Amino acid sequence: MANEKNVFGKPLVLCCGNSGFTREGFCSVPAADLGNHSICAIVDEPFLTFSKRRGNDLSAPKPELAFPGLSEGDRWCLCASRWLEAHQAGVAPKVVLSATNKKALDVVPLSLLEAYATEPAA
């Protein structure tokens, strides 16, 4: 993770606790992460409902995975393709660009991510 960069080519910052493919809180994208969990999102109810309808109930606790479930306002490393699906459905959550891995740009243009940014461009 130490060498990974955000969408601006700067060091990736922490998204949240127990998130991302590696569960270290960073939206790291190692080679084994075929889902590209690169976008640090601030989830909201419309997105959580959308994700549940798509078969991934992120609000449901999963104690066996030490996952308490997400609530509105929580940060989470989302798959870039799911975030793009949510955008196309009109329910994409806000993103934290400094914590979003540059690998997101393989799927989502920077200009689109910037439209959902919670912080100014770096």
What is the set of domains in the chain, with CATH numbers?
1-122 (3.30.56.110)
Regions of the chain where pLDDT drops below 50: none
Which are the contacts of 53, defined by CB distance < 8 A and separation ≥ 6? Answer: none
* Residue 18 confidence (pLDDT): 74
Q: How far apart are CA 58 and CA 3, in angstroms?
A: 29
* Residue 2 confidence (pLDDT): 56
Residue closest to 4 by CA, chosen among 70, 118, 82, 21: 21
Size (the chain), residues: 122
* Residue 120 confidence (pLDDT): 66
Question: Measured in whole angstroms, how far is the alpha carbon of residue 107 from the centre of its chain?
Answer: 13
pTM recorded for the entire structure: 0.91
Residue 30 identity: P
Q: How far apart are CA 43 and CA 8, in angstroms?
A: 22
DSSP bridge pairs for 42 = 75, 94
